[in-house]
């Protein structure tokens, strides 16, 4: 036997690796593994290790355990190829990883015991050190993260594809009431969860020109000659399922220059020119969502989208080549989901790879593309349905524009045959917008190139069919369907709300974590006074945890016995934080005027970030903080009203806020919120919803019961009727004296230290145009808030409503959503991974 053969025999295979220091799940195993990583990975001795050192060492120890499962999965897929889900998303708001992975492995207690042996009394001290990856902006990215976790928990092979933003969504400070953005340096302390794979880099082109040539068979072909090249380096993040061996991955692409240093430029004194290509290429993945208010910002955003989509599709094609599988089988091995319009360039890029690189004919390439891609629409707002001017598009992606023109030509020809002589429908469905500046309509491209298009809530999907894409729905009625969003109960109950988790484990069994429909068993306690009291006490204990954080973050003391009335989400006019602000001012005025009898004592909590270039949203933040300053400084408000703005709202803060909330504000203008997922997290944790019939609110109300939901506001039809009649918001003010007084206080500078100009744009917007119908819904909103106060007065009744909200939210598990995608769109099935030598603490399926 040769030395090489001997070494190969000694190498453990991924499916049989039971070294306790790398895979064992006991406290002893973790202690030994952490000690080893402190010494060998970090170069530290335990007595001088900091909390950050402990976090890194424990994270590396946990990652070792994920690798056993991940590599076993890779091995299994290689041995038995099957269809894998590729989830393409510009955002993955995955949140802190250590606590979640401890939960997935079932070793939270063991990790806490290991840390105590290092003199760290609470595991929370270590978890608090972790920086949150800034890879998303809000609901879109958080949904993608929930879906990856559910895919793994349901044992479905999957890869999430996205961008490794060096500086993600900004960190938010509040200074003098204004939002201030600072750089999110989430990588500064090192991030132990990623595995760089430079050997699997991909090259992506931009600009240049195309040229024709004849291939070896004499067929006319097109060659793209890019002017600029960037290299995509994949960084893999393991995504473990709950108490299973399936460990999927999130593959994030980092941009580097194809040539990072020009020696000639350096030697002649052009020091910037020597690194110009490196700087330009690496800017591709510097920042999440560059400001598209400038030409350069729009250019960079389109480059970002093409960069990560091209890298991802090249990676999929390469996986077939590595296994010597024919490219014609691409749809049999990859189900590619486009998460909103950002990755929709995938239609043209996959066609380019198939036609130009793999030398396929058009019809075969189009068949492969349309059998592989599916598209999720997340919004009806025009500004989110991206359009790129032809000048910009042709300068960056000339070959793709040629392909899009041909896709459009062939598609419109089929439409002409179905609707002869109807030029209007051709203009409406064309991928190229002809009105005004000619542009590529990316949502149209995604719709034409996908085998399914889904909305994300029943109402939203209906509006997609009837208002956004009615012509497409008439052409392809079978293509459109609904998959209501969901959220993972592992992070949003089991991890975020350990007190509720303990109560559910004791009352129902721990199986609810895998099957959220089991929460229905709580309904048998709805008339049990003792249990309802216990439910209320559990909720109070959770709220105390949040009050401690509020005091630490803001210096304000908050009474946990007050109602926690919460609106936390991205700041946007259609989400109507200013509607909430107006009702808070009315509550304030009622107390000042001695008219607050029956009004529930409240702590009103706001949180969320405004896009840096969105002035009106930033002005709303300033108003919220102005109201908070005024209310909290007034002794008349003590014990009756507090207003809090929590800065830098993110996943980690959400894990504190959702469990502690009593009332969930879901008050967007009807027809504009696609679904929402925060509404689901609130309800799962026992918060009651006050909301409009918008997005998933409709289905939440259906599930929990209309008697356990505070409904207000106009429906989508009501809004449309008002628009058709000619909405004049100023006429509504005179008939609502409380609203008029609230607006007058704002206008007179009561919440801006006497500055009567500060909020004038906001007041004039509301009373002049009111594009989101704030004033039209105000009276009914106030009525619903009075109903909330009345319900709060009967605490047993409130606790019953809270209990039933939790009990009836099983439908909103992301596991249900993923099962629907798997069965109706992707056509994939679970593929359990067996680890041949069982690891202690985890049973092989």
Rg over CA atoms, the chain: 28
For residues 418 and 475, the answer to whether their CB atoms sit within 8 Å is: yes
- CA-based nearest residue to 588, from 626, 551, 555, 559: 626
Main-chain phi, psi angles of 196, to 5 degrees = -65, 140
Say which residues have a Cβ less than 8 Å from residue 377's Cβ, sequence separation at least 6.
340, 341, 443, 453, 454, 455, 456, 464, 468, 674
Is 569 noted as a catalytic residue in this protein?
yes
Q: Are strands 373-376 and 709-711 parallel, antiparallel or unpaired?
A: unpaired
Burial of 831 (0-12, 13-18, 19+ CB in 10 A): middle
Q: Are strands 247-257 and 334-339 parallel, antiparallel or unpaired?
A: unpaired
How far apart CA 760 and CA 155 sit, in angstroms, is 55
Q: What angle do CA 547, 553, 554 make, to 5 degrees?
A: 85
For residues 689 and 683, the answer to whether their CB atoms sit within 8 Å is: yes
For residues 416 and 426, the answer to whether their CB atoms sit within 8 Å is: yes
Main-chain phi, psi angles of 195, to 5 degrees = -125, 105
How far apart CA 62 and CA 11 sit, in angstroms, is 21
Main-chain phi, psi angles of 407, to 5 degrees = -55, -45
Q: What angle do CA 564, 570, 571 make, to 5 degrees?
A: 90
Looking at the DSSP assignment, which residues form a beta bridge with residue 336?
86, 373
Q: Which single residue is written with the structure tokens 């696609």?
A: 674
Q: Which of 301, 333, 575, 640 is catalytic?
A: 575
How far apart CA 841 and CA 222 sit, in angstroms, is 57
Structure token pair of residue 196: 């760089």
For residue 290, give the DSSP letter.
-
Helix or strand or coil: residue 221?
Answer: strand
Q: Which of 83, 387, 578, 681 is catalytic?
A: 681
Q: Which of 570, 578, 602, 714 is catalytic?
A: 570
Say which residues have a Cβ less than 8 Å from residue 209's Cβ, sequence separation at least 6.
224, 225, 227, 398
Q: Which single residue is written with the structure tokens 């009431």?
A: 177
Is 185 noted as a catalytic residue in this protein?
no
How far apart CA 294 and CA 87 sit, in angstroms, is 29
- CA-based nearest residue to 683, from 514, 512, 493, 461: 493
Is 575 noted as a catalytic residue in this protein?
yes
Say which residues have a Cβ less than 8 Å from residue 638's Cβ, sequence separation at least 6.
none
For residues 129 and 224, the answer to whether their CB atoms sit within 8 Å is: no
DSSP letters along 225-266, please?
E-SEEEEEEEEEEEEE-TTSS-EEEEEEEEEEESS---HHHH
Q: Are strands 373-376 and 453-455 parallel, antiparallel or unpaired?
A: parallel
Q: Which of 22, 301, 378, 451 is catalytic?
A: 378
Structure token pair of residue 747: 């206008």
CA 252 to chain centre: 15
For residues 151 and 85, the answer to whether their CB atoms sit within 8 Å is: yes
For residue 69, give the DSSP letter.
H
Say which residues have a Cβ less than 8 Å from residue 439's Cβ, sequence separation at least 6.
387, 388, 389, 390, 393, 432, 433
Three-state SS across 774-786? HHHHHHHHHHHHH
Asked whether the CA dihedral 829, 835, 836, 840 is positive or negative, the reply is negative
Main-chain phi, psi angles of 786, to 5 degrees = -65, -35
Q: Which of 35, 246, 447, 677 is catalytic?
A: 677
Burial of 830 (0-12, 13-18, 19+ CB in 10 A): middle
Q: Which of 249, 358, 491, 569 is catalytic?
A: 569
Annotated catalytic sites, by residue? 378, 569-570, 575, 677, 681
């Amino acid at each position: 036997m040769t030395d090489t053969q001997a070494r190969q025999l000694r190498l453990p295979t991924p499916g049989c690796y039971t070294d306790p220091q790398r895979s064992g799940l006991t406290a002893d195993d973790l202690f030994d593994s952490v000690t080893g990583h402190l010494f060998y990975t970090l170069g530290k001795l335990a007595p001088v290790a900091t909390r950050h050192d402990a976090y890194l060492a424990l994270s590396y120890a946990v990652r070792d355990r994920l690798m056993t499962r991940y590599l076993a999965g890779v091995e299994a897929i290689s041995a038995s190829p099957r269809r894998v889900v590729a989830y393409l998303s510009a955002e993955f708001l995955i949140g802190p990883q250590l606590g979640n992975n401890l939960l997935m492995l079932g070793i939270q207690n063991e990790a806490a015991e290991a840390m105590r042996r290092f003199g760290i009394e609470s595991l929370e001290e270590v978890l608090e050190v972790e920086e949150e990856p800034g890879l998303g902006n809000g609901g879109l990215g958080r949904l993608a993260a929930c879906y990856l976790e559910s895919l793994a928990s349901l044992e479905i092979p999957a890869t999430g594809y996205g961008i490794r933003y060096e500086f993600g969504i900004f960190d938010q400070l509040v200074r003098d009431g204004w939002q201030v953005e600072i750089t999110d340096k989430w990588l500064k302390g090192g991030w132990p969860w990623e595995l760089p794979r430079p050997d699997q880099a991909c090259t992506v082109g931009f600009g240049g020109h195309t040229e024709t040539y004849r291939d070896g068979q004499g067929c006319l072909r097109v060659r793209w000659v890019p002017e600029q090249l960037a290299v995509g380096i994949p960084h893999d993040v393991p995504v473990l399922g709950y108490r299973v061996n399936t460990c999927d991955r999130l593959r994030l692409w980092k941009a580097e220059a194809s040539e990072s240093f020009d020696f000639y430029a350096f030697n002649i004194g052009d020091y910037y020119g020597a690194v110009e290509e490196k700087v330009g290429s690496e800017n591709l993945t510097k920042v999440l969502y560059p400001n598209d208010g400038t030409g350069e910002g729009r250019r960079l955003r389109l480059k970002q989208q093409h960069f990560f989509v091209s890298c991802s599709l090249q990676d999929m094609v390469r996986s077939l080549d590595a296994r010597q599988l024919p490219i014609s089988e691409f749809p049999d091995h990859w189900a590619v989901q486009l998460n909103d319009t950002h990755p929709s360039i995938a239609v043209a890029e996959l066609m380019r790879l198939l036609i130009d690189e793999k030398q396929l004919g058009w019809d075969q390439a189009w068949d492969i593309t349309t059998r592989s891609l599916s598209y999720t629409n997340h919004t009806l707002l025009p500004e989110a349905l991206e359009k790129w001017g032809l000048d910009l598009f042709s300068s960056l992606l000339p070959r793709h524009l040629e392909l899009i023109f041909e896709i459009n030509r062939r598609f419109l020809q089929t439409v002409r045959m179905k609707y002869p002589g109807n030029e209007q429908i051709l203009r409406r469905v064309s991928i190229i917008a002809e009105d005004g500046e000619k542009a590529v309509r990316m949502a149209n491209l995604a719709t034409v190139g996908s085998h399914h298009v889904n909305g994300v809530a029943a109402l939203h999907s209906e509006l997609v069919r009837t208002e956004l894409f009615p012509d497409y729905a008439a052409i392809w009625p079978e293509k459109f369907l609904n998959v209501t969003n969901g959220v993972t109960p592992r992070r949003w109950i089991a991890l975020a709300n350990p007190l509720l988790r303990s109560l559910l484990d004791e009352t129902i069994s721990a199986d609810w974590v895998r099957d959220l429909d089991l929460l229905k068993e709580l309904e048998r306690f709805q008339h049990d006074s003792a249990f309802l009291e216990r439910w209320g006490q559990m909720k109070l204990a959770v709220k105390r945890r949040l009050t401690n954080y509020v005091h630490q973050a803001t210096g304000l003391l908050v009474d946990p016995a007050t109602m926690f009335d919460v609106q936390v989400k991205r700041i946007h006019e259609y989400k109507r934080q200013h509607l909430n602000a107006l009702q808070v001012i009315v509550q304030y005025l009622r107390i000042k005027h001695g008219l607050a009898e029956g009004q529930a004592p409240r702590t009103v909590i706001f949180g969320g970030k405004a896009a840096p270039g969105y002035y009106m949203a930033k002005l709303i933040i300033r108003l919220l903080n102005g109201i908070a300053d005024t209310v909290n400084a007034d002794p008349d408000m003590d014990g009756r009203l507090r207003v809090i703005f929590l800065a830098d709202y993110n996943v980690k803060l959400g894990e504190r806020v959702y469990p502690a909330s009593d009332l969930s504000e879901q008050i967007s203008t009807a027809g504009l919120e696609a679904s929402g997922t925060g509404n689901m997290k609130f309800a799962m944790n026992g918060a009651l919803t006050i909301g409009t019939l918008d997005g998933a609110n409709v289905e939440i109300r259906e599930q929990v019961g209309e008697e356990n939901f505070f409904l207000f506001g106009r429906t989508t039809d009501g809004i449309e009727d008002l628009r058709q009649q000619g909405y004049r918001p100023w006429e509504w003010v005179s008939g609502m004296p409380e609203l008029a007084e609230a607006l007058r206080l704002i206008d007179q500078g009561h919440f801006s230290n006497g500055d009567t100009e500060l909020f004038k744009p906001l007041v004039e917007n509301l009373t002049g145009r009111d594009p989101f119908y704030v004033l039209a819904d105000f009276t009914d909103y106030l009525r619903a808030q009075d109903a909330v106060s009345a319900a709060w007065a009967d605490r047993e009744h409130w606790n019953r409503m809270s209990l039933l909200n939790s009990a009836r939210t099983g439908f909103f598990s992301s596991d249900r959503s993923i099962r629907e995608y798997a069965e109706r769109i992707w056509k994939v099935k679970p593929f359990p991974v067996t680890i041949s030598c069982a690891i202690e603490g985890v049973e092989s399926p």
